[in-house]
Structure 1
Amino acid sequence: MEPAGPEPSLYTVKALLILDSLGQRLLAKYYDGTFPTAKEQAAFEKNIFSKTHQTGGEIACLEGLTVVYRSSVDLFFYVVGGCQENVLMLSAVLACLLDALGHLLRKEVEKRWLLDNMEGTFLVVDEIVDRGVILESDPQQVIQRLSLRAPEPAAYGFVLFDYLAGSSERRDSGDTGQHE
């Protein structure tokens, strides 16, 4: 009896990329040996950008890989998996990344804000994927974990932070006070 395909694996994500509007790398995490050298990674990033930056789609198959992507203002976000990977799982990682970064930056995700908060961006990525294994796809869980990691600036500062975070969540919920 022949096997139906590769065995399922926890190592779902091969790469996670954030490129700017010119296709330049802002953040890239490669989780396996698919692109072992910097030269191969750069060539892949150039290829992926040239094939996706003008299309409206969210899924592409390139070089035998499944790529889900989305743009936000002047950035392009990519989650790369093997050809056998579940597109919904890769899309959940992408959505989680964008939602968590939007919350972290407290505004639309764009290059200027991302560069100013690169440390937080790396923390978000590391909370979502570790060595190719999807750890979390719920942005609220990622944000909660990051807030637990943050050192307490002062006893009162943390209470103020919680208060401000709570008020921004009410604004973000879309409740404009107008009810039908």
Structure 2
Amino acid sequence: IETSTKKHTPQQKRRKSGSRTMTLVSSLPPLTPKIDAILVLDGDGNRLAGKYYGDFLTDTSSASARAAAAASGEDNGASVSKTMEDLRSAFERQLQSKIQGIAARPDAAEVVSVMGKTAVFCGGSPGQQGGGGDVRVVHIGPSSESELVLAHLVEGVYDALSHLMGGATDRTMVLDNLELVFLLIDEHCDGGIILETDGAKLASAVLLRDDDGAALMQAEQGAGQGQGGKPTGAPNMGAIAAGDMTIGQAFRQAREQLISNLAQRDGM
């Protein structure tokens, strides 16, 4: 009985191996960067704006919450007695202790490690001076995320913030335009998933949404003033569901409501 064994040349083996590798790579989904938090801090480490995503300091039962509680030196068990805001403040204090006195150029982000997370930031003032210096934009990501990717993300957001603030990225300017900062965060990231990274495009998108909100508010005010020739109080936002309002529209509604209430009180 004759048996024949089919042998492959080294070239054929490489060709088959290569085709198998290409098929495997092409079936993988595209890599999308994901972040755990975006923070805008003043020179003293106080949070001016920011958002936390996923399970990072968003639930007291999460591992990150227990780690933050243990790091604060007060909670060491499996249960966390502190509020989530306290845990976030503790994390931000640890972050500030590592980035204080470091000034990162807008095109050269700096990297530190905090509680097992990678923190990449732009902005800040050199030395130990406090909140009068530039604010810092900080991106928090998992330790497995590429530092170069996180640096690219934070540099884009800082560039957009600088455009929106007219180049004056200090605490006072940011607080005076806080609604634009929240809009910027929303345009950049949704639920930890990155939507846009280009600074110019981010700034344009924020200004467009802000203009749309202002135009809508003026139209609603005009409709209210048309009834009886005087304002009827708060702007009529009934046509917009609360869940459909942008942050800018919500800020404007609250501001106009306050102004209207003060005007009515003074007129009595």
Q: Is 2:74 the counterpart of 1:14?
A: no
Which residue of the partner structure matches residue 49 of structure 1? 96
Unaligned runs of 5+ in 1: 1-6, 154-180
8 Å contact 2:139–2:154 — kept in the other structure?
Answer: yes
State the Cα distance separating 1:144 from its structure 2 match: 2.5
Aligned residue runs from structure 1 range 64-75, under 5 A = 64-72=116-124, 73-75=133-135
Of the candidates 182, 186, 190, which is equivalent to residue 126 of structure 1?
186
Q: Judging changes above 3 Å, is the alpha-carbon distance between structure 1 residues 141 and 74 closer, same or farther for their aligned structure 2 residues?
A: closer
Q: Which moved more, 1:44-53 or 1:135-144?
A: 135-144
Partner-residue secondary structure (3-state), 1:59 = strand
Structure 2 counterpart of 1:80: 140
User: TM-score when scaled to structure 2?
Assistant: 0.51
1:6-37 alpha-carbon deviations (Å, 9 max, x no partner)? x9864611011111122111112101222132
Aligned residue identity for 1:78: V
**Count of matched residue pairs:** 147
Cα deviation 1:120-140 (Å, max 9, x = unaligned): 011111111111011111012
Where structure 2 has 5 or more consecutive residues not aligned to the other structure, the ranges are 1-28, 59-83, 105-109, 125-132, 216-268
- The 3 A distance-change label for structure 1 pair 69 and 133 is same
Kindly report which structure 2 residues correspond to 1:98-113, keeping only aligned pairs within 5 A, or say none. 98-113=158-173
**Contact between 1:19 and 1:25, CA under 8 Å: does it hold in 2?**
yes
2:58 matched to 1:26? no
The one-letter amino acid of 2:46's match is: Q
CA RMSD of aligned residues (A): 2.1
Q: Which has the higher helix share?
A: 2
Partner of 1:93: 153
Q: Distance in 1 between matches of 2:180 and 2:43?
A: 21
Residue 116 of structure 2 aligns with an amino acid whose one-letter code is G
Q: Of the two structures, which has the highest relative contact order with CA contacts closer than 8 Å and spacing of 6 or more? A: 1
Which runs of 4 or more aligned residues in structure 1 lie more than 2 Å from their structure 2 counterparts after TM superposition?
7-11, 54-57, 70-74, 146-149
2:93 partner SS: helix
3-state SS of the aligned residue for 1:13? coil
Q: Aligned pair in 2 of structure 1 residues 30, 112: CA closer, same or farther (>3 Å)?
A: same
Deviation at 1:71, TM superposition (A): 2.2
In structure 2, give the amino acid aligned to 1:65.
Answer: K
CA offsets 1:68-110 (integer angstroms, 9 cap, x no match): 0122433222100000011122112211111111111112211
> Which letter maps to 1:47?
Q
Partner of 2:66: none
Is 1:60 aligned to 2:112, yes or no?
A: yes
TM-score (norm 1): 0.74
Contact 2:50 2:182 in 1 (8 A): no
Compare the two structures and name the one with the higher strand fraction. 1
2:36 match: secondary structure:
strand
Percent of pairs identical after alignment?
A: 31
The 1-side partners of 2:39 and 2:180 are apart by 15
